[in-house]
Amino acid sequence: MQLQSMYQEVILDHYKHPHGRGLREGDAEVHHVNPTCGDEITLRVRYDGETIADVSYESQGCSISQASASVLNELLVGKEVTEARKIQETFLELMQSKGRVTPDDAMEDVLQDAVAFAGVSKYPARVKCALLSWMAWKDATAQVLGESALEETA
Ligand code: ZN
């Protein structure tokens, strides 16, 4: 496994300088674990109507899981929930592509820094690291909006 090829500059930058780290007031809190790697995250979301007012988190684990949480914070805070779900679904699609999807301009527009994880999709064990915070966000959002976390929106 070429670890170096995955640890791109964008990912390292988010890892070293995480956006929005720390737990703040929230409408729901979830704790998710990725047992394959040992990553853990406690994540809170706060909504202002349909708008994501804040996503705060405490996480520990590998650089991919931590960088991903930082990217999530940067991308989702301030977005309406419908737009945030579109971003989450696009990211999921990329991460499940097993390295076969090369992000085009449209995908880059939606995902911004999250396209840096494209290379990670080739490594099944690492995909869970990248998706940990996104699944936590989805779960927390479902709780706030009173939906079943098991219900797929896709
Ligand atoms: Zn990990």
* Enclosing domain of residue 28: 2-143
Tell me the CA–centroid distance for residue 43 and ligand 1, in Å.
16
Residue 113 Cα to ligand 1 midpoint, Å, equals 18
Residue 19, in any domain of the structure: yes
Band of pLDDT at residue 91, cut at 50, 70 and 90: very high
Task: Give a yes or no: residue 150 inside a domain.
Answer: no
Residue 153 in any domain: the answer is: no
Q: Per the domain annotation, does 149 fall within a domain?
A: no
Number of domains in the chain: 1
Question: Is 114 a domain residue?
Answer: yes
Gap from CA of 49 to ligand 1 centroid (Å): 33
For residue 69, report the distance from its CA to the centre of ligand 1, in Å: 12
- State in Å: Cα 81 to ligand 1 middle: 26
pLDDT band for 5, please (50, 70, 90 cuts): low
In a domain, 95, yes or no: yes
For residue 140, the CA-to-ligand 1 centroid distance in Å is 20
**Per-residue pLDDT tens for 102-132?**
888 999 999 999 999 998 999 998 999 999 9
Helix, strand, coil percent values for the chain (each to nearest 5): 50, 20, 30
CB-based contact 81:88 (threshold 8 Å): no
Ligand 1: centre distance to CA 129 (Å): 4
Query: For the domain that residue 23 is a member of, what is the CATH number?
Result: 3.90.1010.10
Averaged pLDDT score across all residues of the chain: 91
80: in domain: yes
pLDDT given at position 103? 87
Q: Are strands 51-60 and 28-34 parallel, antiparallel or unpaired?
A: unpaired
CA 99 to ligand 1 centroid distance, Å: 18
Residue 151 included in any domain: no
Q: Which helix (H) or strand (E) holds 42?
A: strand 39-48
The one-letter amino acid code at 69 reads A
Whole-number Å distance, alpha carbon 16 to ligand 1 midpoint, is 15
